[in-house]
Structure 1
Amino acid sequence: MNKRRWIVGTAAAATLAASGLFIAFSPLAAAPAHSAETARPVIVVLGDSISAEYGLPRDTGWVSLLRKRLADKQIDYSVANASISGDTTSGGRARMPELMARLKPSIVIVELGANDALRGVPLSTTEDNLRTIVEQAQQGHAKVVLVGMYVPSNYGQAYTQRFHGLYGSLARKMNVRLVPFLLAGIENRPDMFQSDQMHPTQQAQPVLLDNVWPVLAPLLRQHGR
């Protein structure tokens, strides 16, 4: 199949990252404190601009839709969106210990890596960072969902295959669940992307959630209260 390859990072996101102007949402706001008796299990989404609602109205991204779906289905989880536009696996790795200590999540969804490719980070470094993020989550007794991405074909066939392949390989080695491609189903639809043709529109967000949901749902059954 002739599939267009997309990458999360854009020049705009890289500029934001370089300037320190990130789009982020406070996990504390998304996951309010509860007493020990009433505390709900927490899902942490550790991602970049795709999950941080880059270019979207507030509370319309797939993570916000996940929060709404859980409520509609009366599945008693809170969702903390710890995504930052322009973030890399190194940034996620550095933030994980504090997030784990503060939020004590039951599930961590990891949507990182594409900005590494944008910045020319060696694949071995990206893989090592992702492995460490997964290990940090598992050491905190959290289940992990790893979200795969592609990079543009102009990076070369060998590189694009190795980049995408590292997600599946890591998921198998570390026994975690894998979303093969977050943008599956919209990658050949320009109308589903913002003017940069990289970041999905508000109309595309339900598709992203539907790509994650079948992988996440079995973990909710294991942890749900």
Structure 2
Amino acid sequence: MEYDCILPTRRNFILAAGLLTLAPCIWAQSPNGSTSNILVLGDSLSAEYGIRRDSGWVGLVQQRLSQSNLPYTMRNASVSGDTTSAGLSRLPAALQRHQPSIVILALGSNDALRGLPLEMTQANLEKMMALSREAGAVPVLVGMRMPPNYGRSYAEAFASMYDTLAQNQQAPLIPFLLEGVATRPELFQPDQMHPTEEAQPIIADNVWTVLNTVLKRQP
């Protein structure tokens, strides 16, 4: 494995506005022979928060790519605490650096936790999909969900936003990143927000089901 930088320890995390934030750090897993990049732009659910390095779903998807002899390298540009606005600001540099053929957009949860307008979240995701396409990459949207205690109407509107975006943009959609995990408290760390290491294979399955279909359409 090769990394573009050393990830901070958990002591380097800063609690701000109720969210864990982390200084931007793009890291890469680079098996020999990979020729195309898959960029992951996400938050703590994708950044291996609280679990061992290489044990997260991004690393597990990389293992499947390698086992299937598919010439792709996962490039994880996920940052804990990221909102869609933060992701949008970082995306151009990540696209230029990694020149991916696929971009997995796994953002939005922190927007909801901060109570940001859904219209802004949707607009940011639309811009990220447009930037990805302009860079020659296929955008893959990852659906998120909010707990029912945030209000049924808001939770439903938040979930349907991803469906609407995927339909309007004709983009592949991973319906819900935490499908099969969200309703199982034992698969979460003590904060009940971040999945455990044991949950990562389930999350990887959710991503792989859609990503594998996208890969089959690639030249």
TM-score higher than 0.5: yes
Aligned pair 1:110/2:127, yes or no? no
Q: Percent identity?
A: 46
Counterpart pick for 1:127 among 106, 122, 127: 122
- Counterparts of 1:209 and 1:17 in 2: how far apart (Å)? 29
Superposition misfits of 4+ residues, deviation over 6 angstroms: 17-20
Aligned pair 1:210/2:205, yes or no? yes
Worse-matched range after superposition: 60-69 or 18-27: 18-27
Aligned pair 1:54/2:49, yes or no? yes
Give, as a single letter, the amino acid of the residue that structure 2 aligns with 1:30.
Q
Q: Which residue is equivalent to 1:77?
A: 72
Q: Which residue is equivalent to 2:151?
A: 156
Q: Which residue is equivalent to 1:191?
A: 186
Paired residue secondary structure (2:127): helix
Q: What is the TM-score when the length of structure 1 is the normalising length?
A: 0.85
Paired residue secondary structure (2:167): helix
Q: Which residue is equivalent to 2:29?
A: 30
Assess, with a 3 A threshold, how the Cα gap between structure 1 residues 17 and 81 changes in structure 2: closer, same or farther: farther
Paired residue secondary structure (1:15): strand
Paired residue secondary structure (2:95): helix
Assess, with a 3 A threshold, how the Cα gap between structure 1 residues 59 and 16 changes in structure 2: closer, same or farther: farther
Give, as a single letter, the amino acid of the residue that structure 1 aligns with 2:122.
E
Paired residue secondary structure (1:80): strand
Structure 1 residue 50: deviation in Å? 0.5
Equivalent residues in 2 for 1:136-151 (5 A)?
Answer: 136-151=131-146
Structure 1 residue 21: deviation in Å? 5.2
Q: Residue 89 of structure 1 contacts residue 112 of structure 1 at CA under 8 Å; is this kept in 2?
A: yes
Assess, with a 3 A threshold, how the Cα gap between structure 1 residues 51 and 17 changes in structure 2: closer, same or farther: farther
Paired residue secondary structure (2:141): strand
Q: Residue 17 of structure 1 contacts residue 87 of structure 1 at CA under 8 Å; is this kept in 2?
A: no
Question: How many corresponding residue pairs?
Answer: 207
Give, as a single letter, the amino acid of the residue that structure 2 aligns with 1:139.
E
Assess, with a 3 A threshold, how the Cα gap between structure 1 residues 73 and 25 changes in structure 2: closer, same or farther: farther
Paired residue secondary structure (2:64): helix
Q: Residue 17 of structure 1 contacts residue 86 of structure 1 at CA under 8 Å; is this kept in 2?
A: no
- Counterparts of 1:106 and 1:56 in 2: how far apart (Å)? 28
Give, as a single letter, the amino acid of the residue that structure 1 aligns with 2:29.
A
Q: Residue 19 of structure 2 contacts residue 81 of structure 2 at CA under 8 Å; is this kept in 1?
A: no
- Counterparts of 1:16 and 1:209 in 2: how far apart (Å)? 29
Structure 1 residue 223: deviation in Å? 2.5
Give, as a single letter, the amino acid of the residue that structure 2 aligns with 1:192.
L
Q: Which residue is equivalent to 2:174?
A: 179
Q: Residue 25 of structure 1 contacts residue 52 of structure 1 at CA under 8 Å; is this kept in 2?
A: no
Structure 2: segments with no counterpart, 5+ residues: 1-12
- Per-residue CA deviation, residues 50-74 of structure 1 (Å, 9 max, x unaligned), is 0000000111000011111111111
Q: Residue 99 of structure 2 contacts residue 135 of structure 2 at CA under 8 Å; is this kept in 1?
A: yes
Structure 1 residue 30: deviation in Å? 2.9
Structure 1: segments with no counterpart, 5+ residues: 1-12
Q: Which has the higher strand share?
A: 2
Q: Which residue is equivalent to 2:94?
A: 99
Structure 1 residue 14: deviation in Å? 7.6
